[in-house]
Structure 1
Amino acid sequence: MVCLALLIPTIVVAQPDVIVGDLPNTNAYGTNTGTGIYAYSVATTSCNIGTANLNWQANNNQHPVIAQDMWRLHEGRFTQIGSSWLKHGFCALQNTGLCAGCGGGGGCLSYLTPGCADPYSAGLNGNQSNLGPRSQVNAFTGFFPYPYNAPPCPSGQGTICRRVQVQESDMVGLPGALFFVSGQYVASDDADFGNQANNASYRRVNVSQSGNHSLSFVGGTQQQAPPIQAWQDNQPSVTLVDVEVPNEGLFIAGYDVTDNGNGTYNYEYAVYNMYSDRSARSFSVPYPAGATIIDHGFHDLTWHSGEPYDGTDWNVTLLPGIGISWETDTFASNQNANAMRWSMMFNFYFTSDAPPAPNSATLGLFKPGPAGAPDELNFDVLAPSGNFLPGVQNLACDLGATTDPSVNLYWTNPETYTSITVRRDGTTIAILSGGATAYTDANASYGLTTYTVQAEQAAVPAAEIPCQINITPQPQSNFSCSQPDPEASDVLLTWSNGMMYDAISLSRNGTLIATLGGSTTSYTDTGASVSSHFYTMSASAGGVTTATLDCDITVLPPPPLGFTVTAPTVAAGFDPGTGAGSFSAILTAIESPSNTGYPNPVSGYSLALVFDGSLAVVSALDETVVPADLDFFDGQWGDGWVTIGAVVSFTSASSLDLSSDVNLARVEFNTNPGGLIGQMNPVSSALSWQNGVNGGGLPVDNLIVVGSSPMAPSFVHGQINLVPGAGETFVRGDINDDSVINIADAVAGLTYLFSGGPAGCIDAVDTNDDGQANVADGVYLLGFLFSGGAAPPAPSPNCGSDMTADALECATYNSCP
């Protein structure tokens, strides 16, 4: 029998394989003011250690991209502290010497031949115009869109934009810290042959503690060593584990556990995503129910220069008996979540009182894979040791009732237990059977309460699983403030109660003004002033206060009081030959009977009038017509204006009652010869009230003062009528020439008519202005004084001339100018 052996030769396929052969130089660019960030670039020299040309084409996506990063080892923790955007290759030199087998020559080509090296200087790798986003590159396939889309640099970041960015606080003032830089190439033809795992190298650097914090090398480049290898190389107690994604990328996990010598242990974990496009979204480490996590932390790296990814830290969850886990959003809920993407490394760490033992950690993947692909990866680590009886899960505390508070607790049981204990704020309130999954605390209290549910299995306790609930009394509502009576400054506060409280508190402008019974729904604040006020209220029950409600109000003063000031219409004559003449005007005021507090005590007033100064000039002011002694009376006058001020009593000992028309002043006038000489026709001028009359001092307004509150009156304007050739000025009805019209004038008139008594001005006797002096004038005057009859016609009560043509004369009248 003859056996024939057929020898089939192995077919070797030529393939490119790019590595970082050297990191020969760095640039330090400094910072932008206010950022606290310093910028760097790292020179990279590539080598093609494969057997086929590596594409290096400038105008499409068939060229490598280069990542630059910075790292720190300090106090046992290895962290990524800086990253750049990606340098895009444009052509490759064919340099010899760094790698074996290069023939050299040919210039800068669209490919890198086997064994040859291509240097990219720190200047090229820091040229911002040729740096593209990492977010657009799939490191597993090497694919990226071309041309790539680079958003503009953020304002104020012209120096640091797109370059390796490192916070100054991550480099300065850290004794014993070691620093490293790294480079990594990603190329699609390299990825086609699965050669991505050797594409990164690192090199140690020192950081200057001043200036631009420039970098200087310590030792040579560690070829084909990913940067996380620096942790193990400089801290031999570290263990590194390759975590491969089936048919996809590679993560490298590292861990180290330190005995603190006091019964506690520091657990350090770092996970580096070398080239997985699926990325990672969660990391968990088991810890037993009996162990305590004393503190824990997380570290990532901030994306920059317009990358689209979220920078929110991963959330941490502690489940005693199960584990501690960190996670970010799912891909389905947020495609730009802060996932652990390629070339990035995240740190997870905690301190526990349990010693280490072998166990498995779990890395959850971010992007969904093809059908059948795993969504999480398990790998060996050291983790806290002990009893891993899991506690109850999905514990929730729900509010049952608020008025008489109760709490409903629900959970699920992942194991079969023998008993379950429920505690409120550390005090046992129930021991339930091992199959129980709910409990209602009918004696709950207002405030923040912590419940724990602890399962037990054959005397082995699981962890106490906590939940918290904050029970507050039913809130109040509809809190409002109003000023119901405009004549008073009282503020009415009203509200609705959600329940019966122990007490209700009210404050005005931050000061407590009332503590009321728990059923009260209104309160009148009688202490409010005319101003703006901010009210707050809250209620309390069981020592817990409801949310504060507020309202604000501006308390208005009572509406202004109504007064009317009147200027009279006066008549006077003048000599057309000389323009001389004289007259007076009595100014009066009256209060509206509809005023609140009518009649109100008037403590003073100011008056201002204007007139035609070419016809009349003021000669004097007379306060004797005022029916009260004044503490102050004065005035000013000038060309066509007059102002008057009066105070009844500086001590408020007396006041004026304006319930009837009351004299406030008499203004004495002379005619102005300059405007009247040769004038043979009657002329007139308005005698008008006007605010803001300025006689050289402050402007004067027309005001009636009640107490200390000024009130603007309404106006009745008057008029001055001047007639050429009219006789002596007088006041009709003031027969005895004493400036007052009263019963004495009636007696004087009758005595003149029937007993031959004196009368210097017969025109004054003619009280009814019918051109005759007879008994009808006495009857007329007595009717005015005592029976509500008509007042004597002008001139009365002001000085003036008789404008009615008659034969009566006025020889002497001394009370008028």
Structure 2
Amino acid sequence: MCLAAGVATAGGVGADVIVGDLTGPAHWGVVDGISSYSIGTTSCNVGTEELDWIAASNRHPVIGQNIYRIMDGRIEQIGQSYLKHGYFALQGTLCGSCIRSSSGGAALGVGCSDPYGTGDNGNQNRLGPKSDVDPSTGFFNWPHSQINQGGDAIFKRLQVPLAKLDFAAQEAGDVVYVGEAIYVAADDATAGNDANNASYRAMRLLPNGEDFGWNGSTQRTKPAIMAWADHGLGLNQPDPNVDIQEFDLPDDGVVFVGSNVIDNGDGTFTYYYAIENLTSDRGVGGLRIPLTSGASATSFFFNDIAYHSGEPYDDIDWTSEIDGGEVVFRSPETFAEDPNTNALRWGSLYTFGFTSTDAPIQVQAAVEYFKPLVGADAEYAADVWAPQGVAICSAADLAEPFFELDIADVVEFLRAFGAGDPAADLAAPVGEYDIADVVEFLRLFGAGCP
């Protein structure tokens, strides 16, 4: 269900901040082909306890702003801002009844809302870098590392290359623009309520090709990746092929993984994958998509988002290749080699893709963490679309004659299992060959071909 501004939203136990409305937006100017914006935000505490909002401390929310475009069957992030640091909470009623905080502006009461306009969210003195914040806990040092620093019209603000904006394409129905805001707060994270911290709103590029308005209402608690499904075939035209999963990661934050497949009508298919890292501090350093036997993959696609205004991260593109029966996208270096390499960090979305001559099948891809954690998994599995090579009836149909499960499939599974072949990697954890894979093979084998 899509929740619009003004509709009450159920929350979690403890402090629970959401984005109740996106307002504005404001256009600040253009420098060297980069256009800058800010998006106004009204937050709501939909939890059962007050939300800290203490100025000049590390006990207040931080607010990120992003812009995306949906085109050609994929979603891409095209702009991001620094983080606005909260400083005073008004006690409004946008999201329903409000129990005002007795501490005044130092906390947001239960059910209450607080508006920040585009001027506040574009105030360079109050904007701090994302790199200062652990999104999984909401912790940051105070004062932040770039406090009270100003600059030109685009410094720290939501930056979008003008080359990414196309009014004519929008009017032709070929592109949809989307604005998003996200709040991160320590008490919200402690309560385990960080999965609903982002909301999106469809945008409308104005005829001058620089200014934006809105197209529709705010979609509460839905991160921008959800707009891919909601507007994948055009504004307010859902794409039923887009499949999105949410991952609430142990001892970390929340990540969304989506995929789509487009039949190009010429015997080829284009596969797209998007990962939105909402609040994971460990981030993402790789994506591996298994190819079934004989499947092809060419014309690799990758889109990331540029950091700016003094953030320490580099912008070198990820590598892409076929390796060991998988399409592999990976950050240029590991965390051990360079902690500031181009990883998929929080509050951002990366897009991946390739073309194949093979029709789709659902498989389990491996999403690799960027930051290691002692004793924790190095990756997790996500269900995605991928090319199907030789036509088979199930993942247990490993050998000829296909569409018939027999001893040849058992022999091939045992060979693949012993060789560490991805064809035998049928169950989580992806990349490990253990009894879970054997059990899954036996289950599939016993089910037979439909």
Per the normalisation by structure 2, the TM-score is 0.79
Q: Which residue of 1 aligns with 2:98?
A: 102
The equivalent of 2:112 in structure 1 is 116
Trace 1:314-353 onto structure 2 (pairs within 5 A).
314-319=318-323, 322-328=325-331, 329-353=333-357
Report the counterpart of residue 384 of structure 2 in structure 1.
381
1:519 is aligned to none
Please give the alpha-carbon distance, in whole angstroms, between the structure 2 residues aligned to 1:215 and 1:26.
Answer: 6
Instruction: State how 1:518-533 maps to structure 2 within 5 Å.
Output: none
What whole-Å deviation, never above 9, does each CA across 1:48-90 have from its counterpart, x for those lacking one?
Answer: 1111110000021000000000010112111111000000001
Task: Say whether 1:278 aligns with 2:286.
Answer: no
Report the residue type matching 1:168 in the other structure. Answer: L
**Runs of 4 or more consecutive aligned structure 1 residues displaced over 3 Å after TM superposition:** 103-108, 151-154, 413-417
Contact kept, 8 Å, 2:136 with 2:279, in 1: the verdict is yes
Partner AA of 2:295 in structure 1: A
Per-residue deviation, 1:250: 1.5
Q: Which residue of 1 aligns with 2:425?
A: none
Q: Which runs of 5+ in 1 are unaligned?
A: 1-12, 390-412, 418-817
Preserved CA contact (<8 Å) 1:71 1:80: yes
Letter of the structure 2 residue corresponding to residue 20 of structure 1? V
Alignment partner of 2:266 out of 239, 256, 262: 262
Aligned to 1:170: 164
**Alignment size in residue pairs:** 375
The match for 2:143 is: 147
Distance (Å, rounded) in 2 between the aligned partners of 1:252 and 1:227: 10
- How many Å separate the matches in 2 of 1:45 and 1:29? 20
Whether the 8 Å contact between 1:359 and 1:382 is mirrored in structure 2 is yes
The alpha-carbon deviation at position 380 of structure 1 amounts to 1.0
Matched, 1:27 2:44: no
Question: Superposition pairs for residues 626-705 of structure 1, below 5 Å?
Answer: none
Match of 1:306 in 2: 310
Shift of 1:261: 1.8
What code does the residue aligned with 2:36 have? A
Letter paired with 1:186: V
Separation in 2, partners of 1:105, 1:63: 15
Task: Tell me: CA distance 1:37–1:416, structure 2 relative to 1, closer, same or farther (3 Å).
Answer: same
Which residue of structure 1 aligns with residue 64 of structure 2? 67
Aligned-CA RMSD value? 2.3
The Cα of 1:297 is off from its aligned counterpart by: 1.0
Q: What is the CA–CA distance in structure 2 between the aligned matches of 1:113 and 1:138, rounded to whole Å?
A: 24
More strand by share: 1
Question: Aligned partners of 2:416 and 2:149: how far apart in 1?
Answer: 52
Secondary structure class of the residue paired with 2:218? strand
1:172-198 superposed Cα distances (whole Å, 9 cap, x missing partner): 253421111111100001101100001
Pick aligned residue for 1:291 from 295, 309, 314:
295
DSSP-derived class of the 2:377 partner: coil
8 Å contact from structure 1 (residues 16, 53) kept in 2: yes
Contact 2:101 2:107 (C-alpha < 8 Å) held by counterparts: no
Give the Å deviation of 1:105: 8.3
Q: Is structure 2 residue 251 aligned with structure 1 residue 247?
A: yes
Please, what TM-score do these two structures have when normalized by structure 1?
A: 0.44
Residues 615-653 of structure 1 deviation map (CA, whole Å, 9 limit, x = unaligned): xxxxxxxxxxxxxxxxxxxxxxxxxxxxxxxxxxxxxxx
State the match for 1:225 in structure 2.
222
Query: Which runs of structure 2 are paired with 1:29-68 in the superposition (5 Å)?
Result: 29-32=28-31, 35-68=32-65
Higher helix share: 2
Aligned to 1:661: none
Partner letter of residue 184 of structure 2? V
CA contact (8 A) 1:139 1:342 kept: yes
Q: Is the 8 A contact 2:195 2:248 kept in 1?
A: no
Query: What aligned pairs does 1:704-719 form with structure 2 within 5 A after superposition?
Result: none
User: Which residue of structure 1 aligns with residue 191 of structure 2?
Assistant: 193
Name 2:178's counterpart in structure 1: 180
Q: Mind listing any 5+ residue stretches in structure 2 that lack a counterpart? A: 1-11, 233-238, 399-414, 420-450
Output the CA distance in 2 between the equivalents of 1:137 and 1:193.
18
The 8 Å contact of residues 184 and 194 in structure 2, kept in 1 or not, is answered as: yes
Matched residue of 1:42: which SS? strand
> CA separation of 1:209/1:62 partners in 2, compared to 1, >3 Å: closer, same or farther?
same
Q: Retained in 2: the 8 A contact 1:243–1:377? A: no
CA distance 1:386–1:354, change in 2 (3 Å): same
Give yes or no for contact 1:151–1:306 (8 Å, CA) kept in 2: no
C-alpha displacement of 1:208: 1.8
**Partners of 1:294 and 1:353 within 8 A in 2:** no
Q: Deviations over 1:113-160 (max 9, x none)?
A: 001111000000000011000011111100011111018979xx6000
Contact 2:81 2:159 in 1 (8 A): yes
Q: How many percent identity over aligned positions?
A: 41
Aligned equivalent of 1:208, options 206, 209, 216:
206
1:794-815 C-alpha deviation (Å, 9 max, x unpaired):
xxxxxxxxxxxxxxxxxxxxxx
Give CA deviations for 1:769-788 in whole Å, capped at 9, x if unaligned. xxxxxxxxxxxxxxxxxxxx
Query: Is the 1:152–1:306 Cα contact (8 Å) retained in structure 2?
Result: no
Q: Which has the higher contact order (CA 8 A, sep 6+)?
A: 2
| 1:247-646 matched pairs, under 5 angstroms | 247-319=251-323, 322-328=325-331, 329-371=333-375, 373-387=376-390
